[in-house]
């Protein structure tokens, strides 16, 4: 998790899931698949968000409340929904100007 990370309450970050694809039983076995979650600096995650194993959330991204992040979110993206999809991007010039000036909340 990068510097200046902000989040609402009740977020869940999952770093593992049941081995349903290569296990020795159905629907899954007793082993787990583990993957890192990476969250860049200045990321804001809304209340009630779930982030699944293997996801990277890029610098300056914003995740809408109650979303389920199942795949990577690019830097400066604003994403939300089930599964979370990018629907907008932050103003790049404005973001980097504030960052350069050290204006953090």
Which of the residues 6, 18, 82, 94 is marked catalytic? 18
Cα–Cα distance measured from residue 59 to residue 76, given in angstroms and rounded to the nearest whole number: 6
Is 94 considered catalytic here?
no
Determine phi and psi for 6, rounding to 5 degrees: -130, 145
| Cβ contacts of 76 within 8 Å, gap of 6 or more | 58, 59, 60, 61, 89, 90, 92, 95
Give the residue numbers annotated as catalytic, written as ranges: 18
């Amino acid at each position: 998790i990068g510097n200046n990370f902000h989040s609402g309450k009740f977020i869940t970050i999952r770093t593992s899931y049941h081995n349903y694809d290569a296990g020795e039983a159905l629907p899954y076995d007793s082993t787990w698949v583990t993957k890192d979650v990476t969250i860049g600096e200045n990321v804001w995650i809304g209340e009630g968000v779930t982030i699944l194993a293997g996801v990277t959330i890029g610098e300056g991204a914003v995740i809408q409340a109650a979303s389920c992040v199942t795949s990577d979110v690019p830097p400066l993206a604003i994403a939300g929904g089930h599964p979370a999809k990018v629907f907008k991007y932050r103003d790049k010039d404005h973001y980097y100007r504030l960052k350069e000036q050290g204006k953090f909340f």
